[in-house]
Amino acid sequence: MANKAIEMIKVRQILRLYEQGHSKVQISILTGVARNTVKRYLRKFIAGQYTYERVSGLSDHELEMLFGGDEEPQLDPRFEALQKLLPEINKQLKRKGMTLLKLWEQYKEKYPDGYKITQFCYYHSQYNRGTNPVMHQEHKAGDKMYIDFAGEKMKIVDAETGELQMVEVFAAILGSSQLTYVEAVRSQKKEDLILACENAMHYFGGVPAAIVPDNLKSAVTKSSKYEPLINETFADFAEHYGTAVIPARAYRPKDKSLVEGIIKIIYTRIYLSIDKQTFFTLPELNEAIRRELEHHNNALLKGRDYSRRQQFEEIEKSALLPLPVYRYEFKQQKLVTVMKNGHVGLSVDKHYYSVPYRFIGKKVKILYTSTQVEIFYKYERIAVHSRDMRKYKYTTLNEHLASAHRYLSDWTAEKFIEQARTLHEDVALYICKVIEGKSHPEQAYKSCSGILSLARKVGTDRLIKACQRAHLFGVFNYPIVVQILDKKLDSFRDDTEEVIPMPRHDNIRGGDYYQ
């Protein structure tokens, strides 16, 4: 084990007393420093041919550079042999499932007289401190949830064909308590990533202030050292849960060292535990993962008398934000052009939805869920509809239409009949006959509109009589009513006084045509 370093003020006392002519034993007694330690510092002082005047003017840091450190291990051949192995040991540690304990066991097989595990780990730590300096991160309770996918996949077996299907393994860990969540999913696509993140937060029972993903394509559209571009759907998911997305910096694995570390742990604690089992469905696999995950979260932390679960319950659970009332509903999106009729087509359903007519010809984005369709133009929501999966149908809001089109959209058989009834029942009966006699509703509506508009020109009484006479003729259209009014045939009181000839017109086909 390395000798414990002493404070630089003690070193100054040792050198001052030595300069004053005190023996090593006296220096040891006066300073309270072990005699061998005094010898070690004085040996460096003499070997370096330093003077007291020179070293007394040095700062503590400069003095540490001259006299700090442990000289004894450097004289030990075991130390020199281990120093040569440390670069390769670091490289081997990057392998999946590799631990420092396994590497020490390999080291002892090759060097039976080598260091024991405590010294081996100490010198490895000292080596890393010099070659891989890192910033210590303090994790605040409820602050961050780190997420990533494991590099090694799991597998399920198709019960019918026996085919192996590889599945991804998602891991999430809370920074402060290190409570962990693991789930197998079909892919790394954003649908599966979002669902796994959502399941993790429901497992934790709350929402962290931020989610820290690796630069996955399903979460980060474009990575950047300063301002990465977050995937729009993933950002919408985060907004729904009231959290932020802070991607780990590209090529900075230390930014997500917690989740990298937990993935190494699940290789040994979960992968190896269920490796010999066969699973036919994803739920079966996840059930097995959950059992092993509970063992992991409830196991005591190394060197501690509490588990991740206990630490979470005590310090982090209350710091998480509350879960929203409803789960996030995944939104698909399409880019389309508004058609000339003021509608956009959702190709998956072959259904059409209206937008305000001023956006005709514009490129818009459709975001749709299983229940709702939203339409955006330059990030402004211009329309929202309930999703309708009837093929080749139109969902139209009246306020989206131009004024002329809006008037036409109000035309219905019921409205024309009701309007005619306010004039007279005979007019209403005639309008019914007009509607029944047309092969297309729009043809009937135009005729009805024209007939009813005559009341403003000739008066209600004349229109009633004209409709009565046209009904006697058995002709139900707009032109016959106009002819009756023009020839003032509506003024005859007794139909037997004169036989009125059927008016001739190229467009009049007779009632039999519509049978």
- The predicted-structure confidence for 249-261, as pLDDT tens digits, reads as follows 554 555 456 667 7
Predicted pLDDT at 134 = 46
Each residue's pLDDT tens digit, 11-24:
888 888 888 788 88
CA dist 355 and 339 (Å) reads 10
Distances (CA, A) of 331 to 71, 143, 349, 365, 409: 64, 27, 15, 12, 31
Each residue's pLDDT tens digit, 410-420:
567 788 888 88
Has residue 9 got a pLDDT over 50? yes
Q: Do residue 345 and residue 488 come from a single domain?
A: no
CB-CB contact of 21 with 139 (8 Å): no
Predicted pLDDT at 183 = 92
What's the half-sphere exposure (Cβ side, CA atoms, 13 Å) at 417? 9
Structural domain total, the chain:
5
Each residue's pLDDT tens digit, 36-63:
888 888 888 887 777 777 776 666 666 7
Give the angle subtended at the CA of 75 by the CAs of 70 and 76, to the nearest 5°: 100
With respect to residue 285, please indicate whether it lies within any of the assigned structural domains.
yes
Q: Do residue 154 and residue 269 come from a single domain?
A: yes
DSSP SS3 for 327: coil
CA dist 223 and 220 (Å) reads 6
Each residue's pLDDT tens digit, 188-236:
888 888 889 999 999 999 999 888 887 666 556 555 454 455 667 778 8
With respect to residue 36, please indicate whether it lies within any of the assigned structural domains.
yes
Instruction: Provide the phi-psi class of 69: left if phi over 0, else alpha when psi is between -120 and 50, else beta.
Output: left
With respect to residue 139, please indicate whether it lies within any of the assigned structural domains.
no
CA dist 196 and 185 (Å) reads 7
CA dist 261 and 175 (Å) reads 12
Q: Do residue 302 and residue 344 come from a single domain?
A: no
Q: pTM of the prediction?
A: 0.48
CA dist 427 and 470 (Å) reads 10
Q: Do residue 163 and residue 185 come from a single domain?
A: yes
With respect to residue 205, please indicate whether it lies within any of the assigned structural domains.
yes
Mean pLDDT of 348-375: 87
- For 251, the token pair is 């090529």
- Identify each DSSP E strand in 178-272 by its residue range: 180-185, 210-213, 220-222, 229-230, 244-245
CA dist 115 and 509 (Å) reads 111
With respect to residue 43, please indicate whether it lies within any of the assigned structural domains.
yes
- For 156, the token pair is 């399920």
CB-CB contact of 331 with 233 (8 Å): yes
Mean pLDDT of 168-194: 87
Q: Provide, rounded to the nearest whole percent, the portion of the chain with pLDDT above 70.
A: 77
Run of H or E residues at 174: strand 164-174
- For 332, the token pair is 């698909």
452-484 burial string, b = 16+ CB within 10 Å, else e? bebbeebeeebbbbbbbbbbebebbbbbbbbbb
With respect to residue 326, please indicate whether it lies within any of the assigned structural domains.
no
CB atoms < 10 A from the CB of 293, how many?
Answer: 20
**What domain range is 46 assigned to?**
8-73
Pairing of strands 244-245, 210-213: parallel
Q: Do residue 501 and residue 393 come from a single domain?
A: no
What's the half-sphere exposure (Cβ side, CA atoms, 13 Å) at 19? 14
Has residue 467 got a pLDDT over 80? yes
Q: Do residue 185 and residue 291 come from a single domain?
A: yes
Q: Which of 18, 83, 23 is nearest to 44 (CA)?
A: 18
The residue ranking higher by pLDDT, 46 or 507, is 46
CB-CB contact of 274 with 292 (8 Å): yes
Q: Which residue has the tokens 């303090």?
A: 138
Q: Do residue 40 and residue 81 come from a single domain?
A: no
Predicted pLDDT at 71 = 44
Mean pLDDT of 80-102: 76
With respect to residue 475, please indicate whether it lies within any of the assigned structural domains.
yes
Q: Which of 54, 73, 92 is the last residue of a domain?
A: 73
Q: Which of 319, 349, 369 is the last residue of a domain?
A: 319
Q: Which of 402, 427, 457 is the last residue of a domain?
A: 402
Has residue 514 got a pLDDT over 80? no
- Identify each DSSP E strand in 305-439 by its residue range: 332-337, 343-346, 351-354, 363-368, 372-377, 380-386, 394-395
Q: Which residue has the tokens 């780190």?
A: 146
With respect to residue 2, please indicate whether it lies within any of the assigned structural domains.
no
Please give the mean pLDDT across all residues of the chain. Answer: 78
Q: Do residue 218 and residue 364 come from a single domain?
A: no
Each residue's pLDDT tens digit, 420-440:
899 899 999 998 888 887 655
Q: Do residue 265 and residue 170 come from a single domain?
A: yes
Q: What is the CATH number of the domain that holds 295?
A: 3.30.420.10
Cα dihedral 509, 512, 514, 515, rounded to 10, equals -170
CB-CB contact of 193 with 219 (8 Å): yes
Q: Which residue has the tokens 């003690």?
A: 10
Has residue 444 got a pLDDT over 60? yes
- For 233, the token pair is 């759907």
Q: Do residue 196 and residue 156 come from a single domain?
A: yes
Q: Do residue 36 and residue 62 come from a single domain?
A: yes
Q: Do residue 151 and residue 280 come from a single domain?
A: yes
CB-CB contact of 219 with 213 (8 Å): yes
Structure confidence at residue 182 as a pLDDT band (50, 70, 90):
very high
Amino acid at 427: V
CB-CB contact of 185 with 153 (8 Å): no
DSSP SS3 for 505: coil
